[in-house]
Chains A and B, each alone.
Chain A
Amino acid sequence: QQQVKQSPQSLIVQKGGIPIINCAYENTAFDYFPWYQQFPGKGPALLIAIRPDVSEKKEGRFTISFNKSAKQFSLHIMDSQPGDSATYFCAASRSGTASKLTFGTGTRLQVTL
């Protein structure tokens, strides 16, 4: 059973564009939602994370939007750069278990010049 559904599977945007990656979860006990960035041959690296008590969080060019009633959250990358080309994973976990993550299937982002 896939508890975190992620879309799209792949995404191509031009430099400066704003790619948006969406995730939906099923388990209402989830209350920690991080996004990870993974480059080929590397492990995932934490980008930004949100808890359900806020609807939006920004860190640099990365923004998470969170809709608790719809059980959805999304990642926006402002002013995207070719160096942002990577695979992005959303994830979710329950309170007190932030390191037992359930991941989405990933979105391969390509930012072109």
Chain B
Amino acid sequence: ETGVTQSPTHLIKTRGQQVTLRCSSQSGHNTVSWYQQALGQGPQFIFQYYREEENGRGNFPPRFSGLQFPNYSSELNVNALELDDSALYLCASSFTSADTQYFGPGTRLTVL
């Protein structure tokens, strides 16, 4: 059984650009959640996808968007990047939204 994987590991972008981060969920998991973890802080919930539909969203602006695919992998898209978007972006998967979730290693995004 493979765990949650994320790509890329690191990414550097400039302000105003757009970025796409990818996540492959753990085998058998149909729910994917995305979190933003700023340096020295706890993860902040961005949104969750369950069976390809958005199933809850945290306090993030609309320029943060996502997708979930039929194989339950997921993308996080961020438009019009700002310096404060620099963070570790974590993906977590679970069997359902009510179950324990398992985190991937994250993608470190740096916005210059």
A89: which B residues are within 8 A, CB to CB? 42-43
Taking a contact as CB atoms under 8 Å apart, the answer to whether A96 and B97 are in contact is yes
B81: which A residues are within 8 A, CB to CB? none
CB under 8 Å from chain B, chain A span 71-105: 89, 91, 95-105
Q: How many residues of B contact A (CB 8 A)?
A: 26
Taking a contact as CB atoms under 8 Å apart, the answer to whether B106 and A43 are in contact is yes
Taking a contact as CB atoms under 8 Å apart, the answer to whether A42 and B105 are in contact is yes
CB under 8 Å from chain B, chain A span 24-50: 34, 36, 41-46, 49
Q: How many residues of A contact B (CB 8 A)?
A: 25
Taking a contact as CB atoms under 8 Å apart, the answer to whether A98 and B43 are in contact is no
- Given A44-B43, A89-B42, verify A99-B106 contact (CB < 8 Å): no
Is the C-beta of B90 less than 8 angstroms from some C-beta in chain A?
yes
